[in-house]
Amino acid sequence: MIDKEVIVIGAGLAGSEAAWQIANAGIAVKLVEMRPLSSTPAHHSSEFGELVCSNSFGALSKDRAAGLLQEELRTFNSLIIKTADMYSVPAGGALAVDRSKFSKSLTEILSSHSLIEIKRIEQLDIPEKETITIIATGPLTSNALATKIKNFTGFDYCHFFDAASPIIYGDTVDHEIVFKASRYDKGDPAYLNCPMNENEYVNFRNQLIKGQQATLKDFEKDSANFFEACLPIEEIARRGIETMRYGPLKSIGLWNPKWGDLFDRENRFKKRPHAIVQLRKEDLEGNLLNIVGFQTNLKWSEQKRIFRMIPGLEKVEFVRFGVMHRNTFLESPKLLLPTLQFLKRESLLAAGQITGTEGYAAAAAGGLLAGINASLLAMNKSPVTFPKESMTGSLMNFISNKNVIMSNQKKNKFQPMPPSFGLLPELKNKIKDKKIRYRAYQERSLKAMQSFKKKLDSCFEKEQLFV
């Protein structure tokens, strides 16, 4: 065992992954988590890796950006993805998990590791320069620590407003109206679907727009600074009469067999729903359901009133109402190296959503890289960067490259980035067909990561610098 200790601040997805990687390298870790001593506007438990928004890690298929990132993590024995696979629930082509079992399992695994010491305290300061430290406190970093980080970096935090969807009890749904189906009948029917006719849709939209909003302490004049991937459903509704129908309420490709046979589906258009609200399982048994795409900042009483207008949910009971909260993140391209080390202090690293990556798999990928590099630093070896051809490498390069052209920047400010094929270096030979092109990206990425993994394993085994 290496006679050094690493501190990881925050036991979310990134912090949990980082602690796991460090401990498995034979290095002692102190994992600091402020919950339950101090909570946040979005967390509901004291478990590690709690998923506060959706329970989905994104597409499973390796020819999709999120799916490729997941597969890269599997190559490196990621605790987060391994646990997600273990507690997955049906979700069409996505990796969704039973969030309660997922978080409990992470907590038990990390708490029982002989090299991981759990400290349930609020970290109020950045540890001394001599201590190798990973800041993985996420977008809901406490005010005290956020102030210390701001003072250390000399930069104000960036921010956006994020929201979570409500969760309802599955046995309170009217199954005479709601039906099981997957879009275009692909795979097992993983979603429950609530069909709306045009009048129901219009009335529902009107009430969404008029609904009373919850008052947030940290809402400012720029409160319209939403992250586009997590817009509140009422904000989507305000953008136009048809906006929801081309977003979370699209009905295309969904059909209830009760409505008729294939001939009816193709010719009797009056029976086709005007819109459909989808419900996704939160647990394997379907006792708990997530209203897909229904992030919201409506008052809880308004959520109960308005969401019960959805056909099949008239008597639904809520486990958890939707909430909105302010997410903060670093202006990482000015602060971090591609190794996730701070430019001002090489013994200090950052990982996860606090760095400006978006999505659960991306948070785990940041924790993976930071954990590997903290381990190498503890062994007096040089930190590494992942291959630029990989989704992980390209994402970490994006958040740490001052010269990168940020296609989604607003007013010249750095904005969060999810995994995207657009971040990867171009292929040597241009491929017009998108499916074939993405498959080529996938094959190149995984080949590069497997080769990199062999070199990295050798580096940990031998007393030599990584080349």
Residue 148 pLDDT > 80 = yes
CA distance 106 to 110: 6
Considering the domain architecture, whether residues 180 and 306 belong to the same structural domain is answered as yes
Instruction: Look at 421 and 17; give whichever has higher pLDDT.
Output: 17
Beta strands in 266-323 (DSSP E): 275-281, 288-291, 318-320
Q: At which of 280, 303, 322 does a domain end?
A: 322
Q: With contact defined as beta carbons under 8 Å apart, do 192 and 294 qualify?
A: no
98 located within any domain:
yes
Question: In the structure encoding, which two tokens stand for residue 427, read together?
Answer: 């292929």
Neighbours of 237 (CB within 10 A): 21
List, for residues 402-427, the tens digit of each pLDDT value. 765 444 444 556 777 889 988 899 99
Average pLDDT over residues 63-89: 95
Instruction: Give kind and range of the element (H or E) at residue 416.
Output: none
The SS3 assignment for 322 reads: coil
Q: With contact defined as beta carbons under 8 Å apart, do 118 and 110 qualify?
A: yes
CATH of the domain at 184: 2.40.30
pLDDT for the residue numbered 72: 96
Q: How open is the CA angle 306-310-315, to the nearest 5 degrees?
A: 80
Whether the pTM exceeds 0.85: the reply is no
DSSP 171: G
Instruction: Look at 462 and 437; give whichever has higher pLDDT.
Output: 437
**The total number of structural domains that make up the chain:** 2
CA distance 313 to 292: 14
DSSP string, 228-263: GGG--HHHHHHT-TTTGGGTTT--TT---GGG--HH
Considering the domain architecture, whether residues 244 and 358 belong to the same structural domain is answered as no
450 located within any domain:
yes
Q: At which of 322, 350, 385 does a domain end?
A: 322
Considering the domain architecture, whether residues 253 and 137 belong to the same structural domain is answered as no
The pLDDT confidence band at residue 379, using thresholds 50, 70 and 90, is very high
pLDDT for the residue numbered 220: 42
pLDDT for the residue numbered 93: 84
Four-point Cα dihedral 381, 385, 390, 394, nearest 10: 170
Considering the domain architecture, whether residues 180 and 309 belong to the same structural domain is answered as yes
Residue 467 pLDDT > 90 = no
54 closest CA partner among 63, 36, 64, 66: 66
128 located within any domain:
yes
413 located within any domain:
yes
Residue 466 pLDDT > 50 = no
List, for residues 288-322, the tens digit of each pLDDT value. 999 999 989 899 999 999 999 999 999 999 988 98
pLDDT for the residue numbered 4: 81
Considering the domain architecture, whether residues 8 and 153 belong to the same structural domain is answered as yes
466 located within any domain:
no
Q: At which of 274, 289, 322 does a domain end?
A: 322
Quick one: what percent of the chain has pLDDT higher than 70?
A: 88
432 located within any domain:
yes
444 closest CA partner among 398, 391, 386: 391
303 located within any domain:
yes
Question: What residues make up the domain containing 440?
Answer: 2-160+327-461
Considering the domain architecture, whether residues 83 and 203 belong to the same structural domain is answered as no
Q: With contact defined as beta carbons under 8 Å apart, do 392 and 386 qualify?
A: yes
CATH of the domain at 82: 3.50.50.60
Average pLDDT over residues 195-200: 93
Considering the domain architecture, whether residues 102 and 233 belong to the same structural domain is answered as no
Considering the domain architecture, whether residues 376 and 238 belong to the same structural domain is answered as no
Which residue in the block uniquely carries the two structure tokens 């009469």? Answer: 241
Considering the domain architecture, whether residues 73 and 99 belong to the same structural domain is answered as yes
CA distance 441 to 425: 9
Instruction: Give kind and range of the element (H or E) at residue 450.
Output: helix 434-461
467 located within any domain:
no
Considering the domain architecture, whether residues 176 and 154 belong to the same structural domain is answered as no
Considering the domain architecture, whether residues 88 and 224 belong to the same structural domain is answered as no
Neighbours of 452 (CB within 10 A): 21
List, for residues 337-378, the tens digit of each pLDDT value. 999 999 999 999 999 999 989 889 999 999 999 999 999 999
List, for residues 201-260, the tens digit of each pLDDT value. 999 999 999 999 887 654 443 444 555 556 889 999 999 999 999 999 999 888 887 776
pLDDT for the residue numbered 141: 83
Considering the domain architecture, whether residues 16 and 136 belong to the same structural domain is answered as yes
